[in-house]
Amino acid sequence: MNLNLCAIALLLFGSLSGAQSRAVDIVDDSNDVDNSIETEEVPQSQSKHRNRAFEDDWLKFTKTPPNKMQQAPGATLEIVCEMMGSQVPSIQWIVGHMPLSEIDNLETNSITEDAPTAIVRVRSVHIVDHMLSEPRIYTCIGRTGSKTIYASTVVHPSHADQELGSLIVPEKQYQGPQKPRIIYTEKTHLDLMGSTIMLPCKVHARPHAKITWRNNEDKEIVQSHRFKVLPTGDLLIADLKWEDMGNYKCIAHNAVGRDSADTFVYPVLKED
């Protein structure tokens, strides 16, 4: 176990003594913050040895989406979900009811970063940019290693839409341009010096938004052998160094507006 990494995580996130939590039905609207699912452990003889900062996977919400939200007439609604854990947690959203038994088999096309020594706090925003004709459940599901947690939000249609009743076309998308909204980013990323890390910046916009990054000296990042802004908008930092510590800003802009998000990078010294 890397004690330096562990100590920093505890300072940033608080005690992990309550990390073990119970599993409940995903369609329960109570939205228990500690919802979790423990998958069956792989026998040690079959597990792949990796240099882990923690002996066990851990994952906790740092910001849980609200139990209920009311859609305003014609307005875009944002549901925010944040979590922190070992490795690089992945977040995905599902719409509607899903039995608890189906969560473990839920497929995702997201590509997760293999970063066994990292401690990361991620933020995901689900955009509802269409009119609802009935209440709908949106569930944020987080995963890292053997750990899965989730929380659900029930979004109710606007009162004006409810009054129109049958005149509403379900799931009708709002028309026209939309300013950029950064929907997936990392708030904090800790990893060992010498590691290669990727800072995501996923954007919802219409028309397409241009993405730029600013470094820990508030200068625009230009491509180099260690810093690369990928076509996806993500920032790749190779051979992480102590002087890389600081705040990195992703900026997305189009003709309608702009949005930005900060990620604090903390390089950690390797133990001998």
- Euclidean distance between the first and the last CA atom of the chain, given in angstroms as a whole number: 12
pLDDT of residue 158: 80
pLDDT of residue 209: 94
Please tell me whether residue 106 adopts helix, strand or coil conformation.
Answer: coil
Domain 1-40+50-174 superfamily per CATH: Immunoglobulins (2.60.40.10)
For 4, the enclosing helix (H) or strand (E) is helix 3-13
Question: Which residue reads 């913050």 in tokens?
Answer: 33
Nearest to 111 by CA among 94, 88, 93: 88
Sequential pLDDT tens for the chain (272 residues): 454 555 455 455 544 433 333 223 344 444 434 344 443 444 443 444 345 555 578 999 999 999 999 988 888 899 999 999 988 999 999 988 765 555 555 555 444 556 778 899 999 999 998 888 889 999 999 998 888 899 999 999 886 555 555 454 556 677 788 899 999 999 999 999 999 999 999 999 989 999 999 999 999 999 999 999 999 999 999 999 999 999 999 999 999 999 999 999 999 987 76
| DSSP code per residue over 108-141 | --PPPP--TT-EEEEEEEEEE-EE-SS-EEEEEE
List C-alpha distances in Å: 245 to 72, 168, 213: 41, 51, 15
Residue partners of 247: CB distance under 8 A and separation at least 6: 216, 262, 263, 264, 265
Task: Please confirm whether the linkage preceding 177 is cis (ω < 30° from 0).
Answer: no
Nearest to 157 by CA among 171, 143, 146, 178: 171
CA dist 185 and 233 (Å) reads 11
pLDDT of residue 218: 96
Whole-model pTM: value is 0.76
For the chain, where do the domains classified as CATH 2.60.40.10 start and end? 1-40+50-174, 176-272
List C-alpha distances in Å: 54 to 4, 90, 184: 11, 18, 25
Residue type, 168: I
Q: Domain 176-272 falls in which CATH fold?
A: Immunoglobulin-like (2.60.40)
Task: Tell me whether residue 271 is exposed, middle or buried, using C-beta atoms within 10 angstroms of its C-beta: 0 to 12, 13 to 18, 19 or more.
Answer: exposed
- CB 53 within 8 Å of CB 6: yes
Could you count the other beta carbons within 10 Å of the beta carbon of residue 61?
20
pLDDT of residue 117: 83
